[in-house]
Structure 1
Amino acid sequence: MIHTTAFPKGRITLVGAGPGSADLLTLRAVARLQAADVIFFDRLVDADVLAMAGDRAERVFVGKEVGHHAWPQSRINAEIVRAALSGQNVVRLKSGDPSVFGRAAEEIAAARAVGLEVEVVPGITAASAAAARLCHPLTERGVTDRLVLATGTCGAEEEWSGLSGLVQPGTTIVLYMAMRRLPVAGAELRRAGLPLDTSVTICAQVEKRGETHLHTTVAEMAADAALAGIRDCAVVFIRVPKKALAKGARVVDRPEVTAVG
């Protein structure tokens, strides 16, 4: 007769690590990190954030880079579920907010498929953090009353939805993971009628070492970003004021790059 040991089910918590600095974590995020048995963390999670976890927590790096997927999503799903089914308190630690381009839906579905309890702890997303660093509100009364978060990255078999439908007066557009598509994005914005001199701000490595702010235009954003060496981990702000398409936008005479910290 074969005897098996039954372990009580653990739980999975998706925790938003925010953009970088540990002092931007929520109190709930810190509490979940300190209670974790094992933490599966992303490439962009800062070491200071991990330091907030309890000493007993096992730390497992599951980072992914474009073109290098030692940890494909299916493997991450399987590992966090396996750990929780063994009775462990699992934290899936993601940069920014888990629900903003964080593949949270797939991990929640994997957990629920086997009856595991799931909790999501929100974090500060890069758009909010960058806007705060710049002291530029994401919306402004009488100027922008709509905020759109969009990604420039999609699945291998998916077609990028593009930007043309997003260019509406009174809109702040924030692009995530779009640096490789900046030339295409610029062309789409121009075709949508956005003036070439519309100001664009690119924030790289927000709340991390090497943080950089690039102020440029729709016409020059791809070339200026390449010249500044901004290739990854950046958000792109395009503000379309309510009267921008009719009267043009503010002119930026030349690109301005600011290194922070």
Structure 2
Amino acid sequence: MPAPLQDRRILITRAAGQASTLATLLAERGAIPILIPTIELAPPTFWQPLDQAIQTIQTYDWLLFTSANAVEAYVQRARTLNLPAQARRIAAIGPATARAVQGTGLAQAVDLIPARYVAESFAEALLPHAPNARMILVRAAEARDHLTQTLMAAGAHLTIAEAYRTIVPPASIEALKYAFSNQAEPLDAITFTSASTARNLATLMESAALLIPHGTTLASIGPITSQAMRDLNLTPTIEAKDSTIPSLVEALTQLFIN
């Protein structure tokens, strides 16, 4: 019996260091992962806000993370400064971010994970803790403001520390040209795991004068990514039930076996 995604060629647009989990899960179901990163992680423009955050972390009631990248950048910077990174309480936007907290040794467990893994649900879960609380949000330079606006409106004393930037990797242009022009081995699907992957793919394709072939499945990890795709006239074919990599793979599986 063939695997559910047997020989499906699926483009992964995640950063090079993040693609392995998605690639492995797709390959386990018989797919052929095509890894072309549309995101490259870079240091923040200024280190001072993050350095100050690490130096004073024990004065905050909550340390907030909205991505595994933010966790890893925070911990790595603390190691570079040779400073302790532990916080009183840690909140993570979802299970992958929580696993990063545990995997980096920052904490054995996080204190709060929202029911849904998006900024709106994260803000809602944090609201009871917000009034007069000192909170620090470690995030990418490019981020939506819903979480920050909601927490500050609820009375939180919120500090934002940028831990990294996402940039467009120009080296991916030639790989995309080949992937989209290879008529003998066309792509079956493209995965989008963040709004940045959608925006950056659009930028790369415009630079390369490429168009996504008609009929290619566009798979979104969740509602925020889907909205970013629609803003770019990239209509999602499917959206993961939960904003997680396993849920995205399951959505692709169900599409192709039906």
Q: Please, what TM-score do these two structures have when normalized by structure 2?
A: 0.37
Q: Which has the larger radius of gyration?
A: 1
More strand by share: 1
More helix by share: 2
Q: Please, what TM-score do these two structures have when normalized by structure 1?
A: 0.36
